Amino acid sequence: MEAIILHDWAALAIRWVHVVTAIAWIGSSFYFIALDLGLQKAPGLPDKAHGEEWQVHGGGFYHITKYLVAPERLPEHLTWFKWESYSTWLSGVAMLMVLYWAQSELYLIDPAKLALAPWGAMLISALSLGVGWVIYDRLCKSRLGENPTTLMLLLFVLLVAMAWGYDQVFTGRAALLHLGAFTATIMTANVAMIIIPNQRIVVADLKAGRTPDPRYGKIAKLRSTHNNYLTLPVVFLMLSNHYPLVFASRWNWLIAALVFLMGVTIRHFFNTMHARKPAPWWTWGATVALFLAAAWLSAQGTQRLDDDGTALTTAEARLVGDAHFDEVRDIVLGRCSMCHAAEPGWPGIATAPKRVVLETDAQIARHAREIFLQAGLTDAMPPANVSFIEPQERALLRAWFDSAGRG
């Protein structure tokens, strides 16, 4: 079988695993958060039990009791919840490699932003994912850790800063995907580096007959609450690369900021409901407002810096509206665009030379002066006249600039 077919099926298999493990992880996370909030005190609870809940599912009734800190004795068999999270992260990284690293020139690098070499882009991609965790973990462990609201706000600022930062470096599509991976890395690291190790300390204490310190459980609970508020935005960001209005629009990073807020408003509704408090219906009003704001932002211009879809300036409109323009466009598309494109077709030219992209009317108008200098007044371009521009075509470029470009 052809390698290309196997590669495609491998990519599908990884995606399949990733989606399934993510469902398992988020499903169990939602389940436990709801369970926790629904726990109730009841007479006759065993010693050290914090609360209980009755549930009905799949043909039977469940009577669940939560022991805060720990039960008196360690039961023989304990079910841990960690592989859901780890396998989601591992399969996610595999997908990042297959799609964004292996095809970095298509999906990761945007020469109009930063003309990175593939290895440089991969290095930034890999390192940036871990950095978020380091910063976040320091924040949690600092004195701010005692103030959950400030902590949440700082986490939000960090995420928005990252959204903006990624957008300066990568394609819009890769920027939002990396933001999702950055956030998910924090979530998995919370499980792997804090929640599970703390739980292990408690288990070890119980085995050794020591009284476990309640501090460990509290820390784990805070991290798990952060994870809860981050789940919905991460899923949105992972899906966003199917929607150009989100990732390829100019304010994609601001849209991401609104999505993080929506994650909070939606979760707040369900968390309050599960705690059996009056339903905060206002959160849906806030969610819809945020959603509409995101939709509106998505129509305020496109990504590409060179041709950002914003209205032409008067000077540019004059250049595009000029009588020579149709012919100018033909000349540029025929003699220049094979190299000066977002994805150049000329062998050996990987990215638009000097970040000059000449593909759309707006781009041609924006570079009118340089076109005039490089190909009209002089024969600097095309290099060695590789694309055989004719003298009368150069004359036309000059005439165009003379009539519409000066002034």
Contacts to ligand HEC by CB under 6 A: 335-336, 338-340, 346, 349, 353-354, 356, 367, 370-371, 374-375, 381-383, 386-387, 389
| Least separation in angstroms between CB 401 and ligand HEC | 11
Contact 341, 288 (CB under 8 A): no
**Of residues 317, 296, 295, the one with CA closest to residue 366:** 317
Q: How many CA atoms lie within 13 A of 169 on its CB side?
A: 23
Toward ligand HEC, which CB reaches closer, 38 or 353?
353
Could you identify the residue written with the tokens 């592989």?
83
| Least separation in angstroms between CB 370 and ligand HEC | 3
Torsion, Cα of 175, 179, 181, 187 (10° steps): 180
| Least separation in angstroms between CB 332 and ligand HEC | 6
Toward ligand HEC, which CB reaches closer, 309 or 353?
353
| Least separation in angstroms between CB 335 and ligand HEC | 4
AA identity, residue 312: L
Could you give the CA distance from residue 268 to residue 277 in angstroms, rounded to a whole number? 11
Toward ligand HEC, which CB reaches closer, 151 or 336?
336
Toward ligand HEC, which CB reaches closer, 266 or 371?
371
**Of residues 403, 398, 404, 406, the one with CA closest to residue 376:** 398
Toward ligand HEC, which CB reaches closer, 223 or 335?
335
Contact 95, 35 (CB under 8 A): no
**Residue 210's CB: how many other CB atoms inside 10 A?**
11
Toward ligand HEC, which CB reaches closer, 65 or 387?
387
Could you give the CA distance from residue 215 to residue 355 in angstroms, rounded to a whole number? 54
| Least separation in angstroms between CB 383 and ligand HEC | 5
Toward ligand HEC, which CB reaches closer, 183 or 351?
351
Could you identify the residue written with the tokens 């508020």?
229
320 burial type by CB count under 10 A (0-12 exposed, 13-18 middle, 19+ buried): middle
| Least separation in angstroms between CB 313 and ligand HEC | 19
Rg of the chain over Cα atoms, rounded to whole angstroms, equals 28
Toward ligand HEC, which CB reaches closer, 201 or 338?
338
**Of residues 198, 83, 204, the one with CA closest to residue 141:** 198
Could you give the CA distance from residue 230 to residue 401 in angstroms, rounded to a whole number? 53
- Give the largest CA-CA distance in the chain: 97
Could you give the CA distance from residue 115 to residue 306 in angstroms, rounded to a whole number? 14
Could you give the CA distance from residue 223 to residue 217 in angstroms, rounded to a whole number? 10
Toward ligand HEC, which CB reaches closer, 206 or 358?
358
Toward ligand HEC, which CB reaches closer, 173 or 324?
324
| Least separation in angstroms between CB 360 and ligand HEC | 14
| Least separation in angstroms between CB 105 and ligand HEC | 17
Long-range contacts of 313-319, Cβ-Cβ distance < 8 Å, separation of 24 or more: 315/365, 315/405, 315/407, 316/362, 316/365, 316/366, 317/365, 318/404, 319/364, 319/365, 319/368, 319/400, 319/404, 319/405
| Least separation in angstroms between CB 375 and ligand HEC | 4
| Least separation in angstroms between CB 266 and ligand HEC | 49
Toward ligand HEC, which CB reaches closer, 53 or 379?
379
| Least separation in angstroms between CB 334 and ligand HEC | 9
